Structures are given as structure tokens and as C-alpha cells.
Structure 1
Amino acid sequence: MNHNHANYQARLDFVGALLRDKLLLKEEADIVPVQYDPESPFKYNNFVYRVTLGSPVLSSHASSRITPQSTCVPIPDGAKQLIVRLANQETEGMSMANRVENEVAIISLAAAALDGFQPHVVPRVYGWGSAAPKSAQGWIVQELMPGSPLAEVLGEMDLDQKRKTFAQMAALLKGLQSYKLPETITGFGGVTFDDAGRIVGAPMPTVGAGPWPSYEAHFRSRLEASLKKAQDNQYIKGWQPNRLRERLDKFISDGVPAQFHALSSKGDRVITHGDFNASNLLFDPVSGRITGLIDFDFAAILHPSYEFLRSFDGAGGQFRGWYMDEESDEAALRDAKLNGFPSPLPATKADGPVQWEDAKAWEEALEEVGAKRPRTLQGIDAVADVDTVLQGILPWRVTNSDVLKLQTHDTIMQCRDEKEEHLDKLLRRLGF
């Protein structure tokens, strides 16, 4: 049986018990998985359920409330539907120590940062349970936001519609960038709640380490941890063959500080969603409005450049490090984001990797609201090269257990060799 589907009924039973025991809702409720494929070969990060209650929550049912917690609000009168998110304990690379706490705390910060958007776009949290205790099921009960995933309609929009949508996305990003963080958050990384309910620095769940005193320290820690994991991979073998490991060690000790030297405002810390893409934006095609920014599972407090390294698929793409093919469209787009888009724009190729008009429209939307972006983040190109090394050390297709099952040995080794070639040439370019 598929690993996602193995405990399907047990999860439904858990949600049902959650409704009865925590919300004290005794009536039957319709519990339906959201975007769930029982045959998916990849492990889900979370199992998400839409809950339709037998009758709306009423103020007279005062017991129909989850015990108050930090940053949570009561379920409002008249609520008929909810979202329940269950953290998948089997997700690779995610630390459970403060996984739920980090998401709930970041949602609270994002809601405050985007308070000026009406109607609100960040879902309200009604209650949550930690995944930290051994074998505990982490959960979040939150507001069901209106709309459908933007990813379902973005590709069909004309350029004018995309411009209007990008303008809203840029305004959301600007709001996250401009928010003044609580003084209790002093480092880079994840967050959690202290005993007084204040939001404080904590390990970054996607890494299982942190918080760090600097953005540079965050990358150095991740590079070192990745090399340790690479040591146990049967295909990579710690990158010891061909003496690549020695050069990687040298880059971490000597190269990383040099790469961060040119980064402007390296002390800036902002809310980073970490997966700010069309699949996590909800949209109402009738009003043309973005109605929700959801799924803060990968969110953290990091430098504003980090969002561009991880987000914006469908809106100009992520900002990448050096490309081996310096004549490629991807390399040309990277240069355009740093130095300005050419006029006229290059032609968009059928099924090509770059949608030039979309990318320029996204850049103009960012500029219009004054959002920090690659062109204004001096030194982001050097940081992106560090990130390229980081992602090259543990390539997904050579390390993820689900992906490995779908590939032949020859395919895996081909990918491994391609990554080694890229790492080798990038390190040479950087002087290592």
C-alpha cells in the first residue's frame, strides 16, 4: 500500500476525535481530504482536510471553542467550514521539534504584517497541537479561505490580467518585508513560543538547526550539515571521489565569508514564506483578487534575498546561481534581474524555460511597490552561488527516497555526475 495511504482511516478518525474532543462538536461532520492522491509516489508534507460542520457554530454554543492558545482566535459565529492540517511525521528533512509552533507563529506575524489587506488573506488559526512529543500528531485547525489555487488559472491569463495579479503579489511581499519584527526575535531561522507566549527564535524546521546569529552562519551550518548527510549516501559518498570534498570544505571555511561580504544590508531580517508560489495563493476569478496566502510550512525569519532563492515559480522564476550554459535563457534572465531587462525583450520560445513578458511584468510590479528584489539587493548573486552549492551537495534526485525508487541506477548516476560537474565548475569559478 502507498505510504501516504497506509494510515488514511486513522487520520480521518483523528480529525473526527479532534472535532469532538477539542471543539466539542458532537454532530457528524463531513471530512474531505484536499488535493489528495492516494497513489502519489511522494510523501506529503501535510495532510489537509476540509471539514463541513453539521450546523454553523453559534455563540450560544460557548463550549464549541478550542482552549485559547497563543495567537489563536475563537471560531467565529456562523462558521460552517474549517481546515485541519496534520503534519506528516514521515516527511523527509523536516524536524518535528517546533514544526507546528513555527508555522503557527509565522502565520501570526504574517497576519499582522498584512493587516492592511482587506479582506484579510492570511488564515486565522483556531487551535493547534505540537508534533514535538514522541509519536505525537501535530495539527492545526484554521480558517477555510475562499478561492481556488492561483496556479489553476495563472497560465490562462492574458498579460494584463497577470499584471494585475502580480501587483497584488508584490504588495503582499512588500508587506512581509516591511513588517517590524518583535524584539523577542533576535536571530535568523525558525520561531516558537516561550513560556510567556511570546514569539522567539528557534530551530528552522526544514533544517533542524538554528537560530543563527547571521544569515551567513545559517548557510554555513546548512552546508556543513549537508556534507555530513552526503557522507552516508551510497551514490555521493560524501563527494570524496575526485577530491571534490576537499574543495567543498575549503569553500565553506574560506569562500562563504567572501561571498557574503558584498551582500547589502546583511543584517536585515524579514518574514520569508519560503514557498510563495501560485500553488499557495488563492484567487477569485470573478473579482480578480488574491484571497489567500496559505501553507507557511517552510516559512522562517531570514534575509529578504532568501524569498527570491526559493519562491515565485510562475512569476519570473526563482533567482538562481551561476549557470554552466552562460548563453542560456536562464542565464540571460538572471542577468536581467540583476541589471535590468533588455529592450526589446528576447523572444519567448515555445515550451521554453523563460516567459519573458511575464518575468518583466513581475519585475515592474516589484519596482512599483518598492519591494526589495534582486536588482536592489546588492550581493544576492554571490549568495545565490552559495545556495547553488548547498543544493548541489544533496541533489533531490539522488537523495530523496521516494524519487530514488522511480529511477534506474544509471539514471541516478547520470544525475549524480551532472551535479558533480556543475559543482566542480562553479567551485573553480569561485576560486576553489
Structure 2
Amino acid sequence: MSHNHANFDGRLEFIQRLLHQQFSCDVHNAKIDPIQYDPDSPFKYNNFVYRISLPSPPFTTYNGGSDRPRQPGTSPLPKGTKDFIMRLTNPDAEGMNQHTRVENEVAIISLAAAALSGFQPHVVPLVYGWGSAAAPSTQGWILQELMPGTPVDETFDSMPFDEKKGILAQMAAFLKALQDFKLPHSIQQYGGVTFDTAGQIVSTTMTSVGSGPWLSYEDYFTDRLERALQKTDSNPYIKGWHANDVRKRLDAFVKNGIPAQFKALDSKHEKTIVHADFTPNNLLYDAATQRITALIDYDFACILHPSYEFLRSFSGAGGQFQGWSDIESSEQTALRDAKLHGFPSPLPENTKDGVKWDVAKAWEDELESMGIQRPKTMKGIEKVADVDAVLRSILPWRVTNSDVLRLQSEAVILKCRDENEAQLIKLLDHIGF
């Protein structure tokens, strides 16, 4: 039995108990169905997501009554509503800070809802209630609105090109609204967000990092790299990258290289809402109206520089912006150059498993037409992307993730480790360290 499935019945019992005790729901004959759940998956899920269909509406609005204060970031349960989404945090998910992860997600949803309030019907799900994952709790949860539509990624590749362009235009409009949104003055730093005792949204630890907040974007990367290097010291395969003097070069890069890389970044003090997983699988779509109906899943969302969205999002629709790598295909190098300096004319041909040049160019055109900050207009983003490439190379997933390590032989792990060291050395050579 996989890790994910070990407590399957316990999670269902938790949901039933929660709905009954806190929302006065009739849970008899209620349908609670997992979404995108594979009981045999060897990889730990970050969250367990369920669709809930009740036989009758809840007897209480939970956040709308006079007997209890409304939780920050929530809305009253609409009368007559019987269908919901329940998100349960996985306490064993690797790399996820439990202390503020629910609070961060709810607070970011609140900010995103305000930023995207100009889109009607609304595209950010309402939150009806939540429970912290912080100790002594053993289970974090969010009860939220069931949004209409199906994931864009299920049909995007087979859509006519004009329909794809319509989706890209809507994505660009969302991104523009997120970039233009004026953050509350209570958010002073970079990283995660939470609620203070007065219900204001304030800076806190970043969920996917477990540290922060930071005074600057540069501080974020410095801290990430320092923590990554500390983790390598206890990895039996990497052994701190001390072989071949790689560690000395990495330490020098963290001390002197990061400041040099960030000197080139214009607008380095800007900060914005970053979804950090803004991809077709987190967009819901109504094919009949050709309208994006929702932007969902804010588990990795944070407050960082606008460039960070391009480093983490848009795979499958326009492409992430990645740092230098000598092992990437020449096609990927050409795409990065196109994002920085302009697309060639005529465009290269699309390849089966490679760059979809027509989609990438259409995405760039939409970004440009709306005046959105993007790699081409962010002077110095390629330097930041190289820092991010170092960060990714220090802790390669195939040599550090416990789920992946279980599936690989010792020989394969060591081969991955050696290949990654060679790439890391070439990357440091490229940067000048």
C-alpha cells in the first residue's frame, strides 16, 4: 500500500466529522470523492483534494452567524449550496512548511480574489472555512467553493489554434491584474503571508521553503542557497559537493556571486502576488463559452518579484523561463533567447515533444499587447534565472527526494549524481565562479 493510501479511510472520517461538527451537515449519504487521486502513486501528494456532494445544504452558514466571529479570508456558506471542495494537507509532504501553509494559501486566495475582482463571474474560489496545519493540529484543511469547468490541460493540445490564443489572452489578463494589484501596506517583506490577530494579511514564512520572510528578493535566493548547501551535507550521495572543490566554488558564489547577479536586475524592489504554479492544469475552462472559469491551487503561492512567476509557471502554455544549461536542447536555448530578444520570423517548426513555437509566440504577443512585465522587459532576469539554476542543481530531485530514491538503483542514483556535478561545474564556469 502506498503512503498516500495508508490513511484513506481516516481522511474520509475526518471530513465527515468536520462537516457534521462545524458545519452541521447531514453526512449520511454524502458523496466524498477524491480528485486526481491515484492510490498506487509512489509520490507523496502535497494535498488530498475531495469533491463533496451533500444530500441537503448545511444547516449553518458557519461564518455568517452571530454566534461566532468570521475567520479571516472566508465567506459565509451560500444558502442552498450542496457541492464543495475540501483540501486536506498532507503532513508528510516533503518540503512543505506545515506551520503556516493553510494560512498562506487562504491569505493568498484573499489577495488574488481582490486582484482579479474585475473578472465576472469571479475566477478565484471562495473559502468557507479552514483549519491550521500547525501543531498541535495533525490535519490542516480548507473548505472552498466548487468552481465550474474542466482543467485546461485536458484539451489544450488538441484545441484549434484560435481557441488556444483565446485562453492565452485570458491568462495574460489574469497575470496583468496580479502584477498591477497594490499589495496592502501590512505586507512588508518577501515570502509567505498569514493573518495577524486583527485579521490583517502580513508577511511570514514561505510555505515551500520553510524560512523567511526576507527583506529583499536577493535575500530570498541567498537564504535558499545557504539552506540547500546545508542539506547537501547530510545527503549520502552528494556529501556536501566537497569533491573536486565544487563546494568551495559554491560557497564563493553565494558570498560574492549572488550580489553581482542581482545588480543587473531592474526593479529589484518590486513585489507582487506570485501563483508559482500558473499552468493549464490549474485553470478550469468552459468549452461552450471558451472562458476560463477559475484559477485554482494556491499551495505554492507567495509574495516575490514579478520575475519569479516566469521562473516557476507557464509550462504547457508559453513555457517557463529557465537559466543557462549546457545539457538543454538547442531548441530550448533558442526559446530563451527569443523570450529575451524577440522571436524569429519565420518561426521554427513545432516538434512532437519539443517547443510549440506558435503557442510560445502567441503567449509573448499577448503579454506585449497588455503591457505586462515579462522576460524581455525585465532587464537582468537572465542573471536571476542563472542563480535559480544553481539552486535547482544543488539539490537535484533525483538524488534528494525520498520517493524517487526508493524507485532507483544505487547505480542509477550515483550516475545522476555524477551527471549533476558535471552540469553544476559547467554552470559555475558559465557564471564565472
TM-score interval w.r.t. the shorter chain? over 0.9
Q: Secondary structure at the match of 1:298?
A: coil
1:22 corresponds to which residue?
22
Q: Secondary structure at the match of 2:175?
A: helix
1:400 corresponds to which residue?
401
1:242 aligned partner, one-letter code: N
Q: Secondary structure at the match of 1:142?
A: strand
Q: Secondary structure at the match of 2:222?
A: helix
Normalising by structure 2, report the TM-score. Answer: 0.97
Contact 2:327 2:423 in 1 (8 A): no
2:10 corresponds to which residue?
10
Q: Does 1:42 align with 2:60?
A: no
| 1:269-348 paired onto structure 2 within 5 Å | 269-325=271-327, 328-348=330-350
* Range 124-133 or range 411-420, more displaced: 411-420
Q: Secondary structure at the match of 1:22?
A: helix
1:349: how far off? Answer: 2.2
Q: 1:221 to 1:82 in 2, by over 3 A?
A: same
2:427 corresponds to which residue?
426
Q: Could you report, residue by residue, the CA deviation over 1:371-414 in whole angstroms, capped at 9, with x for unpaired residues?
A: 11100111100000000000000011110011111111222122
Contact 1:99 1:131 in 2 (8 A): yes
| 1:9-408 paired onto structure 2 within 5 Å | 9-28=9-28, 29-57=30-58, 67=68, 68-325=70-327, 328-351=330-353, 353-408=354-409
2:414 corresponds to which residue?
413
Contact 1:19 1:25 in 2 (8 A): yes
Contact 1:33 1:48 in 2 (8 A): yes
Q: Could you report, residue by residue, the CA deviation over 1:4-43 in whole angstroms, capped at 9, with x for unpaired residues?
A: 0000000000000110011011342211111111001110
1:64: how far off? Answer: 8.7
Q: 1:326 to 1:416 in 2, by over 3 A?
A: closer
Contact 1:262 1:379 in 2 (8 A): yes
1:415: how far off? Answer: 1.5
1:17 aligned partner, one-letter code: R
* Range 286-295 or range 413-422, more displaced: 413-422
Contact 2:151 2:281 in 1 (8 A): yes
Q: Could you report, residue by residue, the CA deviation over 1:216-235 in whole angstroms, capped at 9, with x for unpaired residues?
A: 00000000000000111111
* Range 402-411 or range 356-365, more displaced: 402-411
5+ residue gaps, structure 1, are: none
Q: 1:90 to 1:326 in 2, by over 3 A?
A: closer
Contact 1:24 1:64 in 2 (8 A): no
* Range 415-424 or range 64-73, more displaced: 64-73
1:24 aligned partner, one-letter code: S
5+ residue gaps, structure 2, are: none
Q: Give the distance between the partners of 2:401 and 2:226, measured in 1 at CA.
A: 19
1:267: how far off? Answer: 0.5
Contact 2:265 2:381 in 1 (8 A): yes
Normalising by structure 1, report the TM-score. Answer: 0.97
Q: Could you report, residue by residue, the CA deviation over 1:70-120 in whole angstroms, capped at 9, with x for unpaired residues?
A: 121101012110111000001001111101000000000000000000111
Moved over 3 A (4+): 61-67
Contact 1:145 1:291 in 2 (8 A): yes
1:410 aligned partner, one-letter code: A
Q: Give the distance between the partners of 1:100 and 1:292, measured in 2 at CA.
A: 20
Q: Give the distance between the partners of 1:69 and 1:36, measured in 2 at CA.
A: 29
Q: Give the distance between the partners of 1:118 and 1:416, measured in 2 at CA.
A: 49
| Aligned CA-pair RMSD | 1.4
Q: 1:63 to 1:220 in 2, by over 3 A?
A: closer
Q: How many equivalent residue pairs? A: 429
Q: 1:327 to 1:141 in 2, by over 3 A?
A: closer
2:16 aligned partner, one-letter code: G
Q: 1:147 to 1:381 in 2, by over 3 A?
A: same
1:278 aligned partner, one-letter code: P
1:419: how far off? Answer: 1.3
